[in-house]
Structure 1
Amino acid sequence: MSVPISLFQVVLAAALMLLSALLSWRLRLGLGRDILTAGTRMTVQLLLVGLILGWVFALRSPWPILGIGLVMTVLAAQAAVGRTRGRYPGIFLDAFAAIFGSSFVLTGLTLGAVLQIRPWFEAQYAVPILGMVLGNTLTGVSLALDRFTSDLGHNRSAIEERLALGATRWEAARGTVRAAVRTGMLPTLNSMAVMGIVSLPGMMTGQILAGASPAVAVRYQIVIMFVLAASSALGSLGAVLLAYRALLDSRDRLRGERLKAPR
């Protein structure tokens, strides 16, 4: 059984953020405003989610759940693009397609085939799992797109030289694609490597605090981590391949004029 937490206890925990702000001030990191803004934004967003989830969990139709998932995906795509230094026309749609495709497919497989939730759109399971998958996927997509666009800009001369010597666009950019996908996958793989030894994951900890058996909580966490690893890989690969098609056309030309730095 979970231990109730009062509003005063939440405020007491929030005071710990002052340590980060104090450290930023003493070291002149310039992050004081960012720390306070991030903490305030997170608190407001989570309080609103807490109010909304009670209504969401009572839904018995798949359409509102899918609508909520689409809104979450749009916000995830915006966040992924917002962290990318290089931009090109259509990058938001590419990020959305990569995140939507990997997250919805893997969440559906997890709910219907692995966990065998009946009905599969049960909001108590569908929304939290989709949220975890989306959050993980947007990180992979953001890192992969940032690495790919950055490498294309830095290695533009070398890639154009390969193309001029007769290489296809895939032969010229294959190393850049591989490096970008690897970058997108690394955070999840690093997390999996130390999980249970260095860190206890959030889902497992939450279930244990709620009174679930540690053995059951561990099995749930293992399933989720495998899903997150797959979503990171598929999302990163999909986003990079879409960016690859946008920036290297079918006539084996590098369209560097499409690549712009963010404002």
Structure 2
Amino acid sequence: MNAIALSNWDLALAALLIVINGGLSLALSLRLERQLLISTIRMIVQLTLVGLVLTTLFSHVSPLWTSLAALAMIAFAGHEVTARQERRLTGGWSYGLGTGCMLFAAGVVTIFALSTQVSPDPWYHPRYAIPLLGMVLGNTMTGVSLGLHTLTSTLTRERAAVEARLMLGADRHEALLPVTRTAMKAAMMPIINSMAATGLVALPGMMTGQILAGADPAEAVKYQILVMFLIAGGTSIGATGVVLAGGRRLTDARHRLRLDRLQAGKAA
């Protein structure tokens, strides 16, 4: 079975749903029509550019270009993580911590999948490496962002309790343990909910796309299970890294809480 090709007219017809959303916003005075328009235009432009970039990458199979594209994706993801923090770490830590954890987690998981289960030839082929990295990175970004946000906000809110444990003789790891657990649970909850609902409540995008493209449903299911495992692994590694490293940054070797290393400010 061949994939069903979509024309520009098909996309324009589907865009009527966005027009309806805008009409509802105007009718109910939600004032979301401008944001909806901007988001729609951004999505179209971004996806069009991504399509052009991927077409170029696929025609020039090079580890250098694949690596540069991957680093660009991680750099943008790091910016998104930083922008969503209400209280950011001072200095370069604000951007570097989340980006570094995502680079390690998503990189390790993607290379693991490419060199074992997927095994393209060559293993760095962008047709496989970039989509896999994108799926893993997008969910790892959510976990890292939630973990870091929960860590900083909970530490700020429960400062007295943490300092009381420190004064009673607990070291910084013991004093931060309840906060660390809370942050880790918040970071992992989206992927846990997603795995629990996949199949019965929702058909994931990758699986749906493969089926629409004519792939055997049983084979599409196998790939989706693999992707969910990779996403869960990347999220767990990234969230653990950012929460533990963030907790270490917000304390010192003398086992003191260092909230002076946080800057106040709303997310952009």
Fold shared, TM-score > 0.5 on shorter chain? yes
Indicate the residue corresponding to 1:66 in structure 2: 67
1:243 aligns with 2:250: no
Task: State the one-letter code of the partner of 2:212.
Answer: L
Indicate the residue corresponding to 1:151 in structure 2: 154
The answer to whether the Cα contact below 8 Å between 1:58 and 1:123 also exists between their aligned partners in 2 is no
Secondary structure of residue in 2 paired with 1:198: coil
Task: State the one-letter code of the partner of 1:223.
Answer: L
User: d(CA) in 2 for partners of 1:24 and 1:37?
Assistant: 14
Indicate the residue corresponding to 2:18 in structure 1: 17
Secondary structure of residue in 2 paired with 1:21: helix
Greater mean alpha carbon deviation, residues 252-261 or residues 192-201: 252-261
Task: State the one-letter code of the partner of 2:173.
Answer: W
Indicate the residue corresponding to 2:139 in structure 1: 136
Segments of structure 1 that go 5 or more residues without pairing to the other structure are none
1:169 aligns with 2:172: yes
The answer to whether the Cα contact below 8 Å between 1:21 and 1:35 also exists between their aligned partners in 2 is yes
Indicate the residue corresponding to 1:124 in structure 2: 127
1:193 aligns with 2:196: yes
User: d(CA) in 2 for partners of 1:33 and 1:50?
Assistant: 26
TM-score normalised by length of structure 1: 0.96
Change (3 A) 1:29 1:84: farther
Q: Once the 2 structures are TM-superposed, how far is the Cα of residue 24 of structure 1 from its aligned partner?
A: 3.4
Query: Deviations for 1:28-65, whole angstroms, at most 9, x for unmatched residues?
Result: 44433222222211111001111121111122221110
User: d(CA) in 1 for partners of 2:61 and 2:20?
Assistant: 44
Indicate the residue corresponding to 1:109 in structure 2: 112
Change (3 A) 1:70 1:160: same
Change (3 A) 1:194 1:157: same
Indicate the residue corresponding to 1:85 in structure 2: 86
Q: How many residues align?
A: 263
The answer to whether the Cα contact below 8 Å between 1:112 and 1:118 also exists between their aligned partners in 2 is no
Secondary structure of residue in 2 paired with 1:16: helix
Segments of structure 2 that go 5 or more residues without pairing to the other structure are none
Secondary structure of residue in 2 paired with 1:260: strand
Indicate the residue corresponding to 2:185 in structure 1: 182
The answer to whether the Cα contact below 8 Å between 1:73 and 1:100 also exists between their aligned partners in 2 is yes
Q: Once the 2 structures are TM-superposed, how far is the Cα of residue 164 of structure 1 from its aligned partner?
A: 1.7
Task: State the one-letter code of the partner of 2:55.
Answer: G
- The sequence identity of aligned pairs, in percent, is 43
CA RMSD of aligned residues (A): 1.3
User: d(CA) in 1 for partners of 2:5 and 2:154?
Assistant: 49
The answer to whether the Cα contact below 8 Å between 1:91 and 1:243 also exists between their aligned partners in 2 is no
Task: State the one-letter code of the partner of 1:190.
Answer: N
Task: State the one-letter code of the partner of 1:133.
Answer: V
Q: Where do 4+ consecutive residues of structure 1 move more than 6 Å? A: none
TM-score normalised by length of structure 2: 0.94
User: d(CA) in 1 for partners of 2:104 and 2:63?
Assistant: 18
Q: Once the 2 structures are TM-superposed, how far is the Cα of residue 27 of structure 1 from its aligned partner?
A: 4.1
Greater mean alpha carbon deviation, residues 115-124 or residues 226-235: 115-124
Greater mean alpha carbon deviation, residues 131-140 or residues 53-62: 53-62
What does 1:19-58 correspond to in 2, within 5 Å? 19-58=20-59
Change (3 A) 1:22 1:249: farther
Secondary structure of residue in 2 paired with 1:200: coil
Greater mean alpha carbon deviation, residues 168-177 or residues 51-60: 51-60
Indicate the residue corresponding to 2:76 in structure 1: 75
Give 1:252's match in structure 2, choosing from 239, 248, 255: 255
1:209 aligns with 2:212: yes
User: d(CA) in 2 for partners of 1:18 and 1:261?
Assistant: 38
User: d(CA) in 1 for partners of 2:251 and 2:23?
Assistant: 47
The answer to whether the Cα contact below 8 Å between 1:204 and 1:221 also exists between their aligned partners in 2 is yes
The answer to whether the Cα contact below 8 Å between 1:208 and 1:214 also exists between their aligned partners in 2 is yes
